Amino acid sequence: MENHIERRSSCRRQRVVLFPMPFQGHINPMLQLANILYSKGFSITVIHTNFNSSYKSNYPHFTFRPVLDNDPKDNNLAKLASKGIGDLLLGIMLLNQCGADSLHRELEQMFVASKQQHEPIVCLITDALWYFTQSVADSLKLPRIVLRTSSLFCVNVYASIPLLDDQGYFNQADSVFYEENIMSPDDTSNFKKTKSSKPVLNLEEQVPEIPLLKVKDIIKMRIKGQEDPTGKLLANMLKQTKASSGVIWNSFTELEEPELKKILQYFPVPCFLIGPFHKCFPASSSSLFEPDRSSMSWLDHQSPSSVLYISFGSTAQLEEQQFLEVVHGLADSKQPFLWVMRPGFIKGLEGTEPLPKWFLDLVGERGRIVKWAPQQEVLAHKAIGAFWTHNGWNSTLESICEGVPMICSPFWGDQPLDARYVSDVLKIGIYLENGWAREEIASAIRRVMVEEERDEIKKRTKCLKEKVNSSLSKGGSSYESLETLIGYISSF
């Protein structure tokens, strides 16, 4: 990649400023996008918060500038992140409320420097969740383009939140019921009386307003309506995305074509589907965790398509009881596995050895446990037969790109929506919809790894992998969309 970049460095005339949200699932696609734009001749500046900024040294060809540098709310993001998604989203909202002055000052200083260097700043590209940046960009007459790091389907659902709220799908009683029943392995009830306009919610029922969803998918998003902090955050995000100069998506047309039609009706701005980003360059080192590369040598000794890869991302946590169900399910499946178990993954067991001795003795050499893994390389390895994932969009795309079937265990936010799309629309995965029961876990593993169902799923994943490669090739949908984007940015 370095030689590829150097060949283009002499013709740089315009600078693009990028502002990622400081979380693994948001940093990675933004830096991948930065590499793509750099390879097309743009100079790159990345502005960043203090929180999760250790990746800077891996990108010497970019300029990095801190913003919100002395804001205590930025410094508290790490504490908020450790408390859970609700506190974290509240922290993001606070930063959106207080960040405008700091960003405005930083950009003004950058404008002065860019004139001296004869490298005009042509646009600001920000994570969609940094919605406050639209007013800053407007005040400086600087075009702002939004990077949306989720699926198009997810954003279409978010756009329907007011309608779903009016229909009574969001309220605290439903959410409490879901947490206490559906999330536990012994749930047997599918019904719950609510305070909403609907007297009874059937959790297995399709949502008439969005037929791809079941009622329980909406509840699992953990949004309690338009006035909920998450609901407000999403509403502000959508409003300011509509006010932007365009939206970049880490997706490709062939993957979400029906959803694209809805997106184009909802957003009155240009949309550019140029993904999957990570396939444009070799794996970059923006991970916030150090990968254990011994996992690759272990995979080299396994049979083709025999290993289940397990990773639930960088923020999700399991309760101890859920974790034990996973342990029993893996033991009962009798399938080889590579399991990413990062520190703090199991609530209440930080700093202790969480795996029972009987489990370690039972699985022996057929299981490998690491704190973090080079995921893109793992998924591309011939030994991988399936991926048990939380269905963050990056992980979902990486699995699709390598033709790897999925077992879906989403936690919150976008993830239940991605899981539903993978299982019911693309039909390339099995959704563990009803929690963490060991019997269902073992059954899903066998279905996707060794039973007849595997062959049909594998055919569909292979077909999608071919579509990925086609979309990125000259004349393909993502290739052409990227060319259009480059021309659009250059025209500012």
Catalytic site residue from 127, 165, 228, 414: 127
- DSSP-based three-state secondary structure for 372: coil
Catalytic site residue from 26, 328, 381, 390: 26
Residue 116 Cα distances to 46, 62, 348, 408, 479, angstroms: 19, 18, 54, 52, 34
388 near 407, Cβ under 8 Å?
A: yes
**What letter does residue 99 receive in the DSSP assignment?**
-
CA 80, 59, 123, 261 torsion-angle sign: negative
The residues facing 44 across adjacent strands are: 16
Degrees to nearest 5, angle at CA 419 with 181 and 87: 65
**Residue 455 bears catalytic tag:** no
Q: Using CA atoms, how far apart are residues 314 and 126, in angstroms rounded to an integer?
A: 21
**Residue 26 bears catalytic tag:** yes
Q: Using CA atoms, how far apart are residues 81 and 49, in angstroms rounded to an integer?
A: 14
- Taking alpha carbons only, the member of 217, 357, 123 closest to residue 209 is 217
Residue 281 Cα distances to 4, 249, 447, angstroms: 10, 17, 33
Q: Using CA atoms, how far apart are residues 72 and 80, in angstroms rounded to an integer?
A: 12
Query: From the CB of residue 395, how many other CB atoms can be counted at a distance below 10 Å?
Result: 23
Catalytic residues: 26, 127
